[in-house]
Amino acid sequence: MSEFIDAYQRALKESLADEERFRAVALRLLRHGVIAAKDSQHELALYSDCLRLKPLLDDYFHILGCRLHHDVDYQYFRLYPPGAGAPGQVGADAEEVTGLRLKLTYAEIAAAIAVCFLYDKARQDGRLDDEGEVVESLETFHTAMQTTLKRSLPDGAVERKSIFHRLKQMKIIGYDHEADLNDPETVIVLRPFVTSLVYPDAVNIIEAALPPDNDDEVNSAASNENGDETDVHG
C-alpha cells in the first residue's frame, strides 16, 4: 500500500468515517455539484458526512484543482470545477475538465440569470424568509426575463418544462411536481443556492453574449465563492 493511501486511511480514521461514506459524498459532489442539508433526509446525512470529512475532501478536491465551498448560513456545500474564475476568464486547465461543467442551453442560462435578478431584488427589498427563500409568480419571472435580458422562454410547453426542471435540478428554484408551468399565476420558490451560481452583475455580461434565439449548448464558465465573481457554473 502506498504512502498516499496510508495517509488517506489515517485521515478517514481521524474523521470517524469509513471509505464508503467518503466515496458517497465525493461522488455526489462530482455528479451534482451541490449538497443541501434541508432538501431531504438523504442529503442531510450527506451534508453531515461532508462536515465531518471536510478537511479530507478539501485536500482531495484540491488535488483535482477543484474548490469546495461551504455556506454555513444556508447549510450547503458546492463544488467548483477547475478553471472557474472571474467574468470572461477561465483557468489554464479548464479545457481538461469539461466533464465537471454543466452544459446549459442559452435559454437555461437566461432563465438562471432571471432567477438571480429576482432573488437579488427580493434580498434588497428584505423579502427573504428565514430559509433565505422567496416566492414569485411565473408572470413575474417572465417579466424579469423580458426586462433584464430582452428574451422569452420557448413557446413549447415541453421545452419550458425542461428548462424549469433543469433549474430545479440545479437547486436554484423549487416548485410543486404537479405545478402548471404554463400558468402565469403558478408560483416558484427562488432559492439561495442561486447566489453561488450567478450574480447581479452577470446580467450585463450575459445580455451581450446571448444571441436572440439560439439554443446551442454552451459550457458555463465561472463561479463565485464570496460573491465577487460572476457567470453561470455548476
At residue 40, the 3 state secondary structure works out as coil
**Amino acid identity for residue 57 in this structure:** L
Cα atoms in the 13 Å half-sphere on the side-chain side of 219: 17
The answer on pLDDT for 107 being more than 80 is yes
pTM of the predicted model as reported, rounded to 2 decimal places? 0.66
What is the band of 225 on the pLDDT scale with cuts at 50, 70, 90?
Answer: very low
Cell of 200: 447581479
The answer on pLDDT for 26 being more than 90 is yes
Q: What digits encode the pLDDT tens for the residues 116-165?
A: 899 999 999 999 999 999 999 999 999 999 988 888 998 888 999 999 99
Q: Tell me what pLDDT residue 25 has.
A: 93
